[in-house]
Amino acid sequence: MNIFYPVKLLADWLTYSVFALLPGTLSAEAVNFFIYDIVKIFILLSVIIFVVSIVRSYLPPGKIRAILSHKNRYSGNILASLLGIITPFCSCSAIPLFLGFIQAGVPLGVTFSFLVASPMINEVALVLLLGMFGWKIALIYVTSGLIISVFSGIIIGKMKAESLLEPFVYQNIANRNAELPKMTRRERFIYAKNYTLNILRKVWLYVLIGIGIGAWIHGYVPADFLAQYAGSDKWYAVPMAVLVGIPLYANATGIIPLVSALAEKGAGIIFMGYLFNAVI
């Protein structure tokens, strides 16, 4: 059973009854696609980000440091990568997190596994992939990110690069076991609500633009157009995808609805993969 069937009914009602568009026309196809994907994606974003935020409220940076500091290299790399998926840190937070983890006694390689996984696996992008491409593509996205983060941390750990760190990195080690304030259930709910609203405020415009472009492609671009110019057998598909993706670097969440529409119109998986990676 499709859990989004009521959303489909809503999209059909708005498209064909409220807007009085004729079924089968290009404009009706585009509008129906836009309404359905907008409602579905924002439901997914709201629910999943809220749930992930509740989990995150139990894993502040200090608690993560405490968990990882007691793990050996390999199990630590795996656990660090898993924790990186559900923690709210982007690449901008890398330096303070790096210092805090090292000062807490977390091995350098384990630290890098966390720092690679945290910004690489974007929870908003994961929700969009799940909603538009299904669980298999979303699983590939998560699995590839985990593999890269685990093995990059193992490689860094084997390099024994701790001696290259500046002395100030090891300052304030005495304070690494400081107690963290605990949140009540109500505080966790408020934190999750505020975090979800904050994320939605940041990404809604990009998602809207991405779905809007995707709806236009869905309704107006001929089915064989992209298969002809961006198919897997075209040698220029990869450089073209990179060139198209560079201007879209500002936000990865806006590109996934566009990639979904491109897939429907016959763009090769190689083209779409490089386009997505160029934006990420």
Q: Tell me, yes or no, whether 190 and 139 share the same domain.
A: no
pLDDT band at 259 (very low <50, low <70, confident <90, very high): low
Asked if residue 180 is part of any domain, the answer here is no
Residue 37 and residue 73 in one domain? no
SS (H, E, C) 83-95: HHHCCCCCHHHHH
225 CB burial (10 A radius; 0-12, 13-18, 19+): middle
Same domain, 51 and 190: yes
Q: What residue numbers bound the domain in which 270 lies?
A: 222-279
CA distances from 138 to 54, 116, 165, 188, 189 (A): 21, 18, 37, 27, 27
Q: What is the pLDDT of residues 158-196, one digit of tens each?
A: 888 777 776 656 655 544 444 456 788 899 999 889 988
Q: Which residues contact 5 (CB under 8 A, 6 or more apart)?
A: none
Residue 15 falls within a domain, yes or no?
yes
pLDDT in tens, 93-102: 555 667 667 7
pLDDT of residue 174: 46
Does one domain contain both 79 and 144?
yes
Total domains, the chain: 3
Q: Do residues 222 and 174 make contact, with C-beta atoms less than 8 angstroms apart?
A: no
Q: What global pTM score does this model have?
A: 0.65
99 and 35 housed in the same domain: no
- Residue pair 119/89 in contact (Cβ under 8 Å)? The answer is yes
